[in-house]
């Protein structure tokens, strides 16, 4: 069931157009990232030669099904140089055989993974850089800046664990007592509608703000799902043992309730009552399990929505919470049967169940926002780790609750604003080169080339940071001497986040504003097909990616490789289905689509035979694994082609510096188990291959280093991949 529901959610994401493709940090569930998603904590375990352990992890068929010998397969002389400690005892590596491994070896042999982390990379090093800069400001002197003062106060409250531990869960009790005092549906609606009382933030539904697929200049509210404790039908059968996911939530909720003063029997009764109410959603859960088409998403006008949901006044509740649902006048519902069930059972008869269900879900949201004992114990119950560094804990909490304020602090006090016009100039240069690439494609008609160039010319360029931000203010956060607590500050922060989330509903997507969930003080760049925008964040403009003092060659091999990658996403297997405005539209002829598919098929065949972790297993990516990474692989190739076209126009271009920087930004040292998880779940090839594969497809690289047939980096002309 879990796999089915996850795939359904991904399909819903495709439908509503909230696909992000990019590099960097994923802050929302439907954002894909480059240069490595950081994975959950994992201990290093050696499984060398254990093919069965990594068969599914590699995403491909068993090794016995591979149709090539070890010597004939792609990348036969490569290692996954991103695995921590992999060079130990290894002899010399020639850059002609494995470029990424040869270039990054010295760094990798000296790299150390800090306690609690699973990897170190170009990405983590730059993340450390901007985190240190942010913390220096938070610990620094006061300025005539109310938002900065609030952030500094917030930071001080979050890092004051002595006071937080002394208070325990006491600050949470008044909110719990308020909720449990409710005795009618009318009072429940008032509770949901009051942001000062409703700590969860919504009327128990998960939401997003999306662009309207057929009219991308406008945004609308998408109610993705009801906030379920479990999406497993078996959890609602009497006598059945709880699935692992529900059992964890059960233990966590009862722990929180007992810490709040409820007896063991009372805590059990509250959870059972919550689960009993959720049982009423079972028909909707079963519909999703059976087939997503059994519970399709629908888009309604606000009038239609209010006519459909009469018992549960969702639209009115969101209006009270600050969401202008009437600006565009449409609402999308992800799983109608779930919301239907909520509406049907929103009655005085079920008030005790609704209260218990709301309380349990709210407490589960606040486990890491109370004292350290609660944070630590609930983390153990969930099988996750805690952040023992008080500074990093505070920063992560602030970035989760007031990210836009942290972004503005970084831009105002940490970032060199002279970098922005430099990056803009480089981006313009790359767009011009990309235009020439499109015009020179011999498999596209002149008409389609014109549409593609029009899309390219209409990309909304969001460089480093926005010039204009949404007019949303956080309630001033005071000091402990002024009566502020960490919990009260967190509540203000979460409310600010909701207002920031709501702000785009009343604005047009004309490029003036960035999305509320593009966090530009983090390490990321992303292309968004649903509004045809490319976003290059301030946080990525440093470390191994960018320095204003670098020569052009190094800038091209660093940040510009990322920029070109994002440009290509506008024309990959996802972006090619959106037009210049971000509307979902097919603008290819059937013949051109066929030609494009044939080029992609050649890429898929290559990657399906490529073994991602040869030190661990001979299992290749396989068809499934190749399908997973195709969009990112296409974008890496397109970016390098664009950069090489720029290089050819330069005098005395230093190709050695350029090629080596391409490998440096992919440097990675990750524990073995974490690498397995990365290969199994991430939609990017392993980092070392993100350098090697694009490079081996171009004569400029092969000729510069004198790479010939028999060398590991050599790829015969007939085997080379070109999508764009």
Across the chain, which has 724 residues, the per-10-residue mean pLDDT values are 36 39 39 35 28 35 47 88 93 96 96 91 96 96 94 98 95 96 98 96 94 87 93 81 92 97 96 95 80 74 95 96 93 92 96 98 96 94 88 95 96 97 97 94 91 93 94 95 96 96 91 86 91 93 97 98 94 86 86 90 94 93 93 94 96 97 97 94 94 97 96 95 90
> Is 295 a member of any domain?
yes
Place of tokens 């974490």: 674
The pLDDT value recorded for residue 23 is: 54
Beta strands per DSSP E along 599-690? 668-670
CA atoms within 13 A on the CB side of 157: 28
Length of the chain equals 724
Virtual CA dihedral for 143, 148, 154, 160, nearest 10 degrees? -40
Q: What span, in angstroms and rounded, lies between the C-alpha atoms of 330 and 644?
A: 46
The pLDDT value recorded for residue 29 is: 28
The pLDDT value recorded for residue 70 is: 63
Q: What angle do CA 234, 236, 241 make, to 5 degrees?
A: 60
**Cα→Cα distances 539→113, 131, 303, 551, 595, Å:** 21, 10, 43, 20, 38
The pLDDT value recorded for residue 50 is: 29
Virtual CA dihedral for 433, 436, 440, 444, nearest 10 degrees? 100
Q: What span, in angstroms and rounded, lies between the C-alpha atoms of 591 and 448?
A: 11
The pLDDT value recorded for residue 4 is: 37
Per-residue H/E/C for 388-439: CCHHHHHHHHHHHHCHHHHHHHHHHHCCCCCHHHHHHHHHHHHHHHHHHHHH
Order of strands, edge to edge, in the sheet holding 524-528?
Answer: 21-24, 524-528, 533-537, 460-464
Q: Read out DSSP for 658-678?
A: HHHHHHHTT-EEE-HHHHHHH
Question: Tokens standing for 304?
Answer: 């239609």
- Report strand pairing: 668-670 vs 205-212: unpaired
Question: Tokens standing for 374?
Answer: 């609660």
> Is 97 a member of any domain?
no
> Is 234 a member of any domain?
yes
At 520, is the secondary structure helix, strand, or coil? coil
Place of tokens 């996802």: 574
Q: What span, in angstroms and rounded, lies between the C-alpha atoms of 441 and 430?
A: 17
Query: 359, 176 in Cβ contact below 8 A?
Result: yes
pTM: 0.86
Q: What angle do CA 496, 225, 399 make, to 5 degrees?
A: 30
> Is 294 a member of any domain?
yes
Question: Tokens standing for 571?
Answer: 């024309």
Q: What span, in angstroms and rounded, lies between the C-alpha atoms of 478 and 689?
A: 50
Q: Would you say the C-alpha torsion 654, 657, 663, 666 has a positive or negative sign?
A: negative
Q: What angle do CA 637, 642, 647 make, to 5 degrees?
A: 120
Closest CA to 661 of 564, 553, 565: 553
The pLDDT value recorded for residue 42 is: 29
Query: 331, 223 in Cβ contact below 8 A?
Result: yes
The pLDDT value recorded for residue 656 is: 98
CA atoms within 13 A on the CB side of 25: 20
> Is 129 a member of any domain?
no
**Structural domain of residue 325, as residue ranges?**
202-369
For residue 276, the domain's CATH number is 1.10.1380.10
> Is 472 a member of any domain?
no
> Is 718 a member of any domain?
no
At 481, is the secondary structure helix, strand, or coil? helix
If one counts every other C-beta atom within 10 angstroms of the C-beta of residue 448, the result is 18
The pLDDT value recorded for residue 17 is: 39
> Is 210 a member of any domain?
yes
Q: What span, in angstroms and rounded, lies between the C-alpha atoms of 605 and 627?
A: 10
Q: What span, in angstroms and rounded, lies between the C-alpha atoms of 72 and 496?
A: 57
Domains contained in the chain, number: 1
CA atoms within 13 A on the CB side of 492: 19
The pLDDT value recorded for residue 500 is: 94
- What phi, psi does 245 have (nearest 5°)? -60, -45
Q: What span, in angstroms and rounded, lies between the C-alpha atoms of 462 and 723?
A: 26
Computed on alpha carbons and rounded to an integer, the radius of gyration of the chain in Å comes to 26
The pLDDT value recorded for residue 47 is: 28
């Amino acid at each position: 069931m879990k796999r089915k529901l996850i795939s359904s959610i991904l399909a819903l994401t495709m439908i509503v157009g909230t696909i992000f493709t990019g590099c960097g940090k994923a802050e929302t569930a439907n954002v894909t990232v480059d240069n490595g998603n950081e994975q959950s904590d994992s201990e290093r375990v050696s499984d060398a030669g254990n093919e069965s352990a990594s068969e599914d992890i590699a995403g491909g068929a068993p090794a016995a099904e591979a149709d090539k010998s070890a010597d004939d397969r792609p990348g036969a002389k490569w290692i996954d140089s991103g695995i921590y400690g992999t060079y130990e005892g290894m002899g010399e590596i020639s850059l002609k055989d494995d470029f990424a491994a040869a270039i990054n070896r010295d760094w990798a042999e000296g790299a150390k993974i800090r306690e609690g982390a699973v990897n170190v990379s170009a990405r983590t090093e730059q993340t450390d850089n901007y985190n240190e800069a942010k913390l220096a400001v938070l610990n620094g002197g006061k300025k005539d800046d109310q938002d900065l003062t609030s952030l500094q106060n917030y930071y001080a409250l979050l890092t004051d664990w002595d006071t937080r531990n002394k208070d325990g869960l006491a600050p949470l009790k008044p909110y719990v007592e308020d909720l449990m005092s409710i005795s009618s549906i009318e009072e429940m609606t008032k509770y949901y509608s009051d942001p000062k009382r409703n700590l969860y933030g919504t009327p128990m539904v998960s939401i997003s703000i999306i662009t309207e697929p057929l009219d991308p200049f406008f945004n609308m509210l998408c109610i993705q799902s009801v906030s379920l404790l479990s999406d497993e039908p078996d959890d609602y059968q009497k006598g059945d043992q709880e699935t692992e996911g529900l059992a964890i939530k059960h233990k966590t909720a009862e722990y929180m309730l007992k810490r709040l003063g409820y007896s063991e029997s009372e805590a059990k009764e509250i959870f059972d009552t919550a689960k009993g109410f959720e049982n009423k959603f079972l028909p909707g859960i079963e519909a999703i399990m059976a087939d997503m088409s059994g519970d399709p998403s629908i888009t309604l006008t606000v009038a239609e929505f209010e006519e459909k949901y009469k018992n549960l006044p969702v639209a009115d509740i969101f209006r009270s919470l600050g969401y202008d649902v009437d600006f565009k006048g449409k609402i999308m519902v992800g799983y109608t049967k779930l919301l239907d069930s909520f509406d049907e059972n929103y009655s005085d008869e079920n008030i005790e169940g609704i209260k218990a269900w709301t309380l349990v879900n709210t407490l589960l949201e606040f486990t890491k926002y109370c004292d350290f004992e609660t944070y630590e114990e609930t983390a153990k119950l969930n099988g996750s780790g805690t952040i023992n560094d008080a500074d990093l804990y505070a920063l992560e909490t602030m970035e989760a609750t007031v990210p836009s304020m942290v972004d503005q602090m970084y831009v105002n006090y940490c970032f060199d604003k002279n970098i922005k016009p430099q990056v803009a100039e480089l981006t313009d240069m790359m767009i011009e080169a990309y235009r020439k690439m499109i015009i020179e494609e011999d498999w596209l008609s002149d008409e389609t080339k014109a549409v593609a160039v029009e899309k390219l010319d209409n990309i909304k360029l969001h460089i480093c940071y926005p010039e204009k931000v949404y007019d949303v203010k956080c309630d001033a956060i005071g000091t402990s001497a002024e009566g502020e607590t960490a919990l009260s500050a967190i509540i203000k922060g979460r409310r600010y986040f909701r207002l920031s989330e709501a702000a785009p509903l009343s604005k047009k997507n004309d490029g003036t504003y960035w999305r509320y969930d593009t966090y530009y003080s983090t390490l990321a760049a992303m292309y968004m097909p649903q509004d045809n925008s490319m976003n290059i964040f301030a946080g990525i403009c440093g470390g191994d990616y960018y320095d204003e003092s670098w020569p052009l060659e190094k800038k091209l091999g660093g940040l510009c490789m990322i920029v070109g990658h994002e440009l290509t996403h506008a024309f990959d297997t996802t972006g090619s289905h959106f037009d210049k405005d971000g509307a979902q539209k097919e603008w290819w002829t059937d013949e051109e689509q066929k030609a494009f598919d044939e080029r992609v098929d050649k890429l898929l065949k290559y990657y399906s035979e490529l073994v991602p972790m040869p030190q661990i297993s001979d299992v290749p990516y396989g068809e499934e694994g190749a399908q997973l990474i195709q969009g990112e692989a296409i974008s890496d190739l397109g970016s390098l082609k664009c950069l090489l076209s720029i290089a050819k126009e330069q005098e005395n271009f230093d190709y050695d510096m350029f090629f080596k920087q391409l490998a440096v930004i992919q440097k990675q040292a990750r524990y073995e188990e974490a690498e397995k998880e990365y290969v199994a779940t991430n939609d990017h090839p392993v980092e070392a291959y993100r350098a090697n594969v694009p490079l081996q497809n171009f004569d400029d690289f092969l000729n510069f280093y004198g790479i010939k047939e028999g060398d590991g980096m050599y790829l015969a002309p007939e085997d080379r991949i070109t999508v764009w």
